């Protein structure tokens, strides 16, 4: 009997989590590191974050100024295009809504750009409305450099390559342009629920 009930519990757990796991993904418990190049080491004293492009007055924060912005704590599932999904990741950071507060722009897209040269493109709609953060803590600790510290973009509803590590700013654009991976075969949008992994998906 105990064998049967154990099996039953196992299936129920799978069913509960599979509704959170996009097609083609599997759940991992560790936190893999995926970087296209070496980890840039950015000193807090040198770090700045900027909003530029289609904006009258670019906005810029030092680390000290940025840390004074209102923060949010969020717990989200993340999905990498290499097929791992990590459930319930806990972050603290600044909502992109806060960063863009008061900004008037005709732009419909953003290019996130990073220390080290990485870029990734997103519709403005996908980084506003409570969908994206510039995160600087993971699991209650300062974000480790390998995972993007001092700060990274967090856009959990899209594949994780959109969550630019070591993010340095957002460029507001009228026209969608491919970022680093999007120029190298990855999908321009990257919705994990529609398996938009590569060009043509």
**Can you tell me whether residue 62 is helix, strand or coil?**
strand
Q: What residue 32 binds from ligand MTE, Mo ion, none (CB within 5 to 8 A, per partner kind)?
A: ligand MTE
Q: What residue 33 binds from Mo ion, ligand MTE, none (CB within 5 to 8 A, per partner kind)?
A: ligand MTE
Q: What residue 90 binds from Mo ion, ligand MTE, none (CB within 5 to 8 A, per partner kind)?
A: none
Q: How far is the CB of 11 from Mo ion (least distance, A)?
A: 30
Q: What residue 163 binds from Mo ion, ligand MTE, none (CB within 5 to 8 A, per partner kind)?
A: ligand MTE
Q: What residue 91 binds from ligand MTE, Mo ion, none (CB within 5 to 8 A, per partner kind)?
A: none
Task: Quote the CA–CA distance of 56 and 142 in Å, as a whole number.
Answer: 33
CA angle (65 as vertex; 98, 94 as ends), nearest 5: 30
| Cβ nearer to Mo ion, comparing 38 with 102 | 38
Q: How far is the CB of 17 from ligand MTE (least distance, A)?
A: 20
| Cβ nearer to ligand MTE, comparing 76 with 105 | 76
The maximal CA–CA distance of the chain, rounded, in angstroms, is 70
Task: Quote the CA–CA distance of 122 and 133 in Å, as a whole number.
Answer: 13
Give the residue carrying structure tokens 């991976």: 181
Q: How far is the CB of 138 from ligand MTE (least distance, A)?
A: 8
| Cβ nearer to ligand MTE, comparing 27 with 80 | 80
**Up-side HSE of residue 193: CA atoms within 13 Å toward CB?**
7
Task: Quote the CA–CA distance of 104 and 14 in Å, as a whole number.
Answer: 45
Nearest-CB residue to Mo ion?
80
Task: Quote the CA–CA distance of 122 and 182 in Å, as a whole number.
Answer: 10
Binding site for ligand MTE (CB under 6 A): 31-36, 80, 114, 116, 118, 147-148, 160-161, 163-166
What's 152's DSSP letter? E
Q: How far is the CB of 133 from ligand MTE (least distance, A)?
A: 14
For residue 79, the cross-strand partners are: 85
């Amino acid at each position: 009997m105990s064998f049967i009930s154990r099996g039953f519990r196992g299936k129920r757990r799978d069913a509960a989590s599979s509704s959170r796991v996009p097609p083609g993904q599997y759940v991992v418990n560790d936190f893999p590191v995926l970087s296209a190049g070496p980890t840039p080491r950015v000193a807090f004293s040198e770090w700045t974050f900027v909003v530029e492009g289609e904006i009258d007055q670019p906005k810029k924060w030092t680390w000290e100024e940025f840390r004074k912005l209102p923060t949010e704590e969020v717990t989200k599932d993340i999905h990498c295009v290499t097929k791992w999904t990590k459930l319930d990741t806990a972050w603290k950071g600044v909502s992109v809504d806060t960063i863009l507060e008061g900004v008037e722009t005709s732009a419909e897209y953003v290019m996130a750009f990073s220390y080290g040269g990485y870029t990734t493109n997103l519709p403005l709609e996908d980084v506003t409305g409570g969908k994206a953060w510039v995160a600087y803590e993971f699991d209650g600790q300062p974000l480790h450099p390998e995972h993007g510290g001092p700060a990274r973009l967090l856009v959990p509803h899209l594949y994780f390559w959109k969550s630019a590590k070591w993010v340095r700013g957002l460029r507001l654009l009228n026209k969608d342009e491919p970022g680093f991976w999007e120029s190298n075969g990855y999908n321009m949008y990257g919705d994990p629920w529609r398996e938009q992994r590569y060009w043509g998906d």
